[in-house]
Structure 1
Amino acid sequence: MKTLIRKVTPHTVVFFGSMSIMILELVASRIIAKYFGSSLYTWTGVIGVVLAGISLGNYIGGRLADRFKPSSVIFPLLLTSSGLVFLVLVLDLVLGSIMRDAATIVTAVMVVRSLAVIVLLFFIPSTFLGMNAPIMAKYALELNLKVGTTVGSIYAVSSLGSILGTFLAGFVLIPSFDIRIIIFIVSLVIASLSFLVIGKKLVTVGVMAAIVVLFLVFQTADPDGLIGTGDDEVLYSRHSQHAHIQVKDFKTGDRIDVRTLIMNGLQHNRHDPANPDNLLYEYERIFGAITEYYISTMRDPSSFTALTLGGGAMTFPAYMERRWDPRRNSVVEIDPRVVELAFEYFDVPRDTEMNIVVADARAYVNTVRDERTYDLIYLDAFSSFSIPYHLTTRQFADELDQILVPDGVIMANVIDIFSIGRFLNAYRNTLAAVFPHVRVYSGPALPTTTRSTFVIVASRTPIIPDTIRDTRGVLVASTISDEMLADLVERNGPLVLTDTYSPVENLIAPVFLQAIN
Structure 2
Amino acid sequence: MSALRGRLSAVSDAGIAVFVSGVASMGLEILSGRIIAPQFGSSIYTWGTIIGVFLAALSLGYHRGGRRAAADASTDRMAWLLMATAAYVAGIVFAGELMITALSGLPLPARFASLPAVTLLFGPPTYLLGYISPYAAELAETEGVGRASGQVYAVGTVGSILGAFGTTFVLIPTLSVAHIGFVFGALLVGTAVYLTYPPLSGLTARSLGVAALLVVAAASGSFGVAAEGRVLYESQTSYQQLEVTQLNDTRTLYLDDQTHSAMDVNDPTRHVFGYTRYFHLPYLLADDPDDIDRVLFVGGGGFSGPKRFVAEYDATVDVVEIDPEVIDVAERYFALDPSDPQLNVHQGDGRRFLRGTNHTYDLIVLDAYKKDKVPFQLTTVEFFELAESRLSADGMLYANVISAESGPASKFYRAEYRTLSQVYPQVYTFPTVGGTTVQNLELIATKDGTRVDAGTLRARNERRDIGTDLSREIDRLRAEPPPTDDVPVLRDDRAPVDSLLDPMVGQRYVVQRAPTNGTATPSPALDPPVRNVGLEPAAARGAGV
- Could you state the TM-score of these two structures normalised by the residue count of structure 1? 0.86
Corresponding position: 1:425 with 2:410: no
Aligned 8 A contact 2:338 2:345 in 1: no
Corresponding position: 1:285 with 2:285: no
Which segment drifts farther, 205-214 or 473-482? Answer: 205-214
* Aligned-residue offset at 1:144: 2.6
Cα deviation 1:369-423 (Å, max 9, x = unaligned): xx35211100001112111111111111121122111211100011212233211
Please name the residue that 2:504 is paired with: 511
Identity across matched positions, percent:
29
Aligned 8 A contact 1:432 1:438 in 2: yes
Please name the residue that 2:115 is paired with: 115
1:126 is aligned with what amino acid? T
The 1:320/1:244 distance shift into structure 2, 3 A limit, reads: same
Please name the residue that 2:427 is paired with: 438
- Could you state the TM-score of these two structures normalised by the residue count of structure 2? 0.81
Which segment drifts farther, 114-123 or 131-140? Answer: 114-123
Gapped regions of structure 1 (runs ≥ 5):
none
The CA distance in 1 between the partners of 2:219 and 2:171, in whole Å, is 21
* Aligned-residue offset at 1:464: 6.8
Please name the residue that 2:133 is paired with: 133
Please name the residue that 2:373 is paired with: 386
Alignment of 1:100-179 (within 5 A): 114-140=114-140, 143-179=141-177
Aligned 8 A contact 1:224 1:237 in 2: no
* Aligned-residue offset at 1:178: 2.6
Please name the residue that 1:489 is paired with: 484
Corresponding position: 1:334 with 2:329: no
Aligned 8 A contact 1:108 1:515 in 2: no
> What SS class does the counterpart of residue 301 from structure 2 fall into?
coil
* Residues paired across the two proteins, number: 491
The CA distance in 1 between the partners of 2:75 and 2:108, in whole Å, is 48
Alignment of 1:178-197 (within 5 A): 178-195=176-193, 197=195
Corresponding position: 1:397 with 2:384: yes
Please name the residue that 1:352 is paired with: 340
Please name the residue that 2:350 is paired with: 361
Cα deviation 1:416-435 (Å, max 9, x = unaligned): 12233211122122222222
1:297 aligned to which of 280, 288, 294: 288
Please name the residue that 1:240 is paired with: 237
Which segment drifts farther, 36-45 or 166-175? Answer: 36-45
* Aligned-residue offset at 1:213: 4.3
Gapped regions of structure 2 (runs ≥ 5):
462-467, 510-539, 541-545
The 1:4/1:349 distance shift into structure 2, 3 A limit, reads: closer
2:224 is aligned with what amino acid? G
The CA distance in 2 between the partners of 1:249 and 1:166, in whole Å, is 35
Aligned 8 A contact 2:110 2:502 in 1: no
Which segment drifts farther, 401-410 or 39-48? Answer: 39-48
2:186 is aligned with what amino acid? L
Cα deviation 1:151-179 (Å, max 9, x = unaligned): 12212222222122111111222112232
2:325 is aligned with what amino acid? R
Corresponding position: 1:53 with 2:41: no
* Aligned-residue offset at 1:489: 1.5
Aligned 8 A contact 1:35 1:264 in 2: no
Corresponding position: 1:275 with 2:231: no
The CA distance in 2 between the partners of 1:159 and 1:473, in whole Å, is 59
Cα deviation 1:77-98 (Å, max 9, x = unaligned): 22222222233222237569x7
Cα deviation 1:441-479 (Å, max 9, x = unaligned): 334x622x2213222212221367233455546231343
* Aligned-residue offset at 1:24: 0.8
Please name the residue that 1:498 is paired with: 491
The CA distance in 1 between the partners of 2:371 and 2:441, in whole Å, is 11
